[in-house]
Amino acid sequence: MRSNATAAGYSATAISLHWIIALLIFAAFGLGLYMTGIPGLTPTKLKLFSWHKWLGVTVFAIAVVRVLWRATHAAPPVAAGTPAWQAKAAAAAHHLLYVLILVVPITGYLYSLAAGVPVVYLGLWKMPVLIEPSDELKEVFKVAHIWLNYLMAAVVTVHAAAAIKHQVVDRDGTLGRMLPFLR
């Protein structure tokens, strides 16, 4: 397996993929909460739903590239002196995040199809209709999309808090591995 790392941290590819996906997810999450709070069915609401779906589909496409990249490139070793349980917890959180950045958009996509609304990416490309409209599946995927989003928000919060704790309390350079300007 090739390396995803330099002596000081992650490679430029790993860092770019990490932050592009993080920014798109923050945007999709904020937009998701905002758009669902708009009462009624206004043209603005429909436009925001489309933007939300396009952001989510973009996250999925980049997440596929990222997971393939990661499967063929090892991460740098954890900072020296990290307790074994923390290294295990970090690895588990990272695995879960890789799953969630794929599954959260998939549930949103299937919810949209089950609700009978095919996704037209960027208004240009009608994406595959994988399932027929169904009231039961619509409810299942809606609940799954919402709860997996909250799970992802919780894991990202702990993940970011851990990174900041490493930076501020332990001062072991962990955050600098993903934010090179901190090195």
Footprint on this chain of ligand HEM (rule: CB under 6 A):
18, 21-22, 25, 28-29, 32-33, 36, 49, 52-53, 56-57, 59, 70, 75, 78, 90, 94, 97-98, 101, 104-105, 108-109, 111-112, 119, 142, 145-146, 149, 156, 159-160, 163-164, 174-175, 177-178
Question: What secondary structure letter does DSSP report for 131?
Answer: S
Question: Tokens standing for 29?
Answer: 């999450």
Least Å from the CB of residue 134 to ligand HEM: 15
Least Å from the CB of residue 112 to ligand HEM: 4
Least Å from the CB of residue 124 to ligand HEM: 15
HSE at residue 39, side-chain half, CA atoms within 13 A, is 0
Cite the DSSP H helix spans in 73-134. Answer: 84-114
Q: Which is nearer to ligand HEM, 140 or 163 (CB)?
A: 163
Q: Which is nearer to ligand HEM, 22 or 140 (CB)?
A: 22
Between the alpha carbon of residue 61 and those of residues 47, 58, 91, 142, 166, the distances in Å are 21, 5, 23, 21, 31
Residue reference for tokens 């949209």: 112
Q: Which is nearer to ligand HEM, 53 or 123 (CB)?
A: 53
Decide if 129 contacts 118 (C-beta within 8 A).
yes
Least Å from the CB of residue 171 to ligand HEM: 13
Question: Tokens standing for 56?
Answer: 């989510």
